Chains A and B, each alone.
Chain A
């Protein structure tokens, strides 16, 4: 099974967030909990769905990551864009905020 992580959008501003190992939500993919097994993934999903029901986050879903030296990286293009912001406006989105 590939490695997976969970992402969602934050209620108040709609921003992209990632579920961490201690049940928080971070704006940084590097903080995301990575599930390597089915049971790890189920546990993460249960937390995410509970938080969604409680109204803290919107639309959590699972996405595949590869784990490298710099932490998890998304395999899909959509999730890559979610970590960066619009490719056509690199002055907006997260890469701008960090630079």
Chain B
């Protein structure tokens, strides 16, 4: 993974000192809250319902065990013993005090981490597929390009006061595991006829009040032009994006109002002026970054692992976990395992200090000391030997991290919701807990198969409910919490916005409603091999509507 050099270390240290000075000026009364707010936001510090919240960047979701241990330490020393992993591969601490934040940032800088630009109207953490580098179907490791984008976008002087936040995602594979269609800029890696690496560039995806899927503005952008092209897009957006209405300020509105063809023309026109200039990646620059992401020293192993098969045959719980949580690795004899942060009835995405330490230890003992954060608010161990999976599973189980539900019905994405967030209209976590408890039966979960359930506590859609198979949006109707259901969303390369199924359900009805939806799927599916989304696409929304509102 990327290692800071002297320039990076100096930069982060200077940033911390700058913020320390800004905090001192705020506490001393020299800076008003209005003046301080943009400064603290671009250091990831929110003010939430009960306290401040610090969002720490985990660039493209990659962590070393040393970094994960430091996050565990920060949770213990400066917070209340836990952190929350997010859909943008970041971690949030919910109880830091203002005075402690510079010290927290210093502790982060010690392990080459920061909270720069995790909030505010700036370019945010560029996210990647959590299996980048180990998936067998990639053109190349997308993290290489994420790192290039990360550096280019850090404290960019021209783009620090955009109309609104800006999110970029990169996928290295034809299978989009980075939700590129729902990002302001989505980059899909591909090769041209000569084998050269480049990107399909998509712009204008986003959820929230107006969910829109990104459109292609350029079919193939050669890799050396990556940064200059992004600069052209951002420059057009910075100048023309709406600033009169925060609900119309994202680039998706600009693309829609301008029209895709005209928007692409504006970008190309700007790009023509700056391509082949200073932002062109020089020969060898990609190689230089690629070297940081060189594969670890894998052993040469057979892919067949009779040991593993025997262990699976001898232990049903382990077998279930392998079936749901373990994926293929491109290196023979290795595997990728999802560490579930979705215990049945638990808070999705939360991990305690002890759990973070446990995962770091497992990564050191059985992996190469690397951990990933996934879009689904889980962790992932990317480089495990198949023959170690049983030991890994036992160690995870001891820490409460072995729920066999990756991609299953209880692998729910939930935003913090009204329990934590100032923007929320309804609580989301308790709904996730209730649904999870209702379906907390391993066999039943396996029977149902892969389905995505996402719960957002407000229209901002931080839980990405629009692109969930079963999306739930919490709303406030006359002071009471109601839950609106959408069906048929998808976050992969077949991206789709879900359809609203009908009137909202209250807190007592929503779990039953989800159960009804699942029952309809089970009754209508062709066979167990047809996943929820395929059945929905085949039969449409009507059968679900009928069953859900039959009594009304």
Contact = CB atoms under 8 A, between A and B. Distances in A.
Q: Would A and B touch once assembled, by the CB under 8 A criterion? A: yes
Interface of A: 9, 11-16, 52-55, 58-59, 75-78, 81-82, 85-89, 92-93
Contacts of B157: none
A89 B49 contact: no
Interface string B19-49: 0000000110101110000000000000111
Contacts of A93: 50
Given A11-B98, A16-B50, A81-B50, 16 more contacts: A12-B27, A13-B51, A13-B97, A14-B47, A14-B48, A14-B98, A52-B33, A55-B29, A55-B33, A59-B33, A75-B479, A81-B419, A82-B49, A86-B429, A87-B427, A89-B347
A12 B260 CA distance: 47
B96 to A, nearest CB: 8
Interface in B413-472: 418-420, 427, 429-430, 433
A9 B27 CA distance: 14
A15 B51 contact: yes
Contacts of B430: 87-88
B431 to A, nearest CB: 10
Cβ-closest 9 pairs across A and B: A14-B52, A86-B419, A14-B51, A13-B97, A88-B429, A55-B29, A58-B33, A88-B419, A87-B419
B475 to A, nearest CB: 12
Nearest to B480: A77
Contacts of A92: 80, 95
Interface residues of B, number: 28
A14 B50 contact: yes
Interface of B: 26-27, 29, 31-33, 47-52, 80, 95, 97-99, 347, 418-420, 427, 429-430, 433, 476, 479, 481
B98 A12 contact: yes
B47 A59 contact: yes
Given A58-B33, A88-B430, A92-B80, A13 B419 contact: no
Nearest to B79: A92
Given A88-B429, A88-B430, A81 B49 contact: yes
> Which of B26, B52, B99 has the largest count of A CB atoms less than 10 A from its CB?
B52
Contacts of A85: 50
Contact of A78 (B26, B29, B80, B418): B418
A44 to B, nearest CB: 19
10 contacts: A13-B98, A14-B97, A52-B33, A55-B33, A75-B479, A76-B479, A81-B418, A86-B419, A89-B347, A92-B80
B418 to A, nearest CB: 6
Nearest to B424: A78
Contacts of A76: 479
A86 B27 contact: no
B102 to A, nearest CB: 13
Contacts of A16: 49-50
Contacts of A14: 47-48, 50-52, 97-98
A87 B50 CA distance: 12
A77 B419 contact: no
B195 to A, nearest CB: 51
Contacts of B419: 81, 86-89
Contacts of B47: 9, 14, 58-59
A89 B417 CA distance: 13
